[in-house]
Amino acid sequence: MRCAVAMLLLITSANGQVAGFAMATVGWILTTTSMGLVEWRVWYIENNGLLPPGLVCVGMWKVCVYHHVSDHNKVTLCQRYSYRDTYLPLDIRVSQNLLLIASILGLLGRASIIFALRNAYLGILRENATFNPFIASGILNLASGVCIAIAVVWNYNSVMSEQGISFPPSLSIPFKPNTQEIGSAFLVACLAAFMMLLSGVIFLSHKFSTATQVHPQTSNM
């Protein structure tokens, strides 16, 4: 009887499971996408003798310089870096690792969801086989969302406080721009964090709501 009740609950909660899986998938894709985008910080540079007027896009893994040398020509210079480059501020170096961890956790969370859904829809209703992967996926997705959120908040604080970066002299980028603002990568990462956190809540709430409904009914039998 307990298996029959559990099967009914799994069927009725199928839409929630699929929605959680879709959110986790989209969140993971957005996470990996935000890592490659360079527009985390957008610096606006006026003519300072080093560079013509233009802008500098500071990402987690590279910086790109865009400026016009004439009315029709745009010069672009991109320089990649890693966490080993000592000139990078602490927030970028930590955020690099946080986003990498978030991507790995999100991938593991998706694998756990796939395993749990496979067991559920094949009728494998042993608790260790069906419900524990949902818990694992929920925890992994929540942890991934928290990592992304920390990187997002730290980047936002650095832009709002107008912090500078000591780039190598070869790039001819000033320590601080005239003005700076958050870029499109920031918004992508915000959405990724929201998706991962929401998917984690969905799977954890599904587990606990299922457990609370199964046990009272089975105890009455």
d(C-alpha 66, C-alpha 213), whole Å: 59
Contact assessment for residue 20 and residue 144, using Cβ atoms and an 8 Å cutoff: no
**What is the pTM for the complete model shown?**
0.79
Of 188, 154, 150, 171, the residue nearest 63 (C-alpha)? 171
Mean pLDDT of the chain: 80
d(C-alpha 13, C-alpha 62), whole Å: 43
Q: Is residue 219 part of a domain?
A: no
Q: Which domain holds residue 132?
A: 2-213
Residue range 156-191, pLDDT digits in tens: 999 999 899 998 888 888 888 888 999 999 999 999
Amino acid sitting at position 88: L
Q: Is residue 30 part of a domain?
A: yes
Of 81, 100, 115, the residue nearest 28 (C-alpha)? 100
Q: Is residue 177 part of a domain?
A: yes
Of 32, 34, 17, the residue nearest 138 (C-alpha)? 17
Residue 189's pLDDT is 96
Residues 147/153/156/158 CA torsion (nearest 10 deg)? -90
The ranges of the chain with pLDDT < 50 are: 1, 3-12, 128-130, 210-221
Residue 52's pLDDT is 65
d(C-alpha 165, C-alpha 144), whole Å: 27
- Please give the angle made by the CA atoms of 154, 83 and 180, to the nearest 5 degrees: 40
Of 46, 38, 43, the residue nearest 63 (C-alpha)? 38
Residues making up the chain, counted from first to last: 221
Number of domains the chain is built from: 1
Alpha helices in the chain (DSSP H): 2-12, 14-36, 90-121, 127-160, 184-220
Amino acid sitting at position 127: E
- SS3 state at 180: strand
Q: Is residue 221 part of a domain?
A: no
Q: Is residue 21 part of a domain?
A: yes
Q: Is residue 100 part of a domain?
A: yes
Q: Is residue 105 part of a domain?
A: yes
Residue 124's pLDDT is 55
Q: Is residue 218 part of a domain?
A: no
HEC profile for 26-60? Answer: HHHHHHHHHHHCCCCEEEEECCCCCCCCEEEEECC
Amino acid sitting at position 14: A
CATH number, position 123: 1.20.140.150
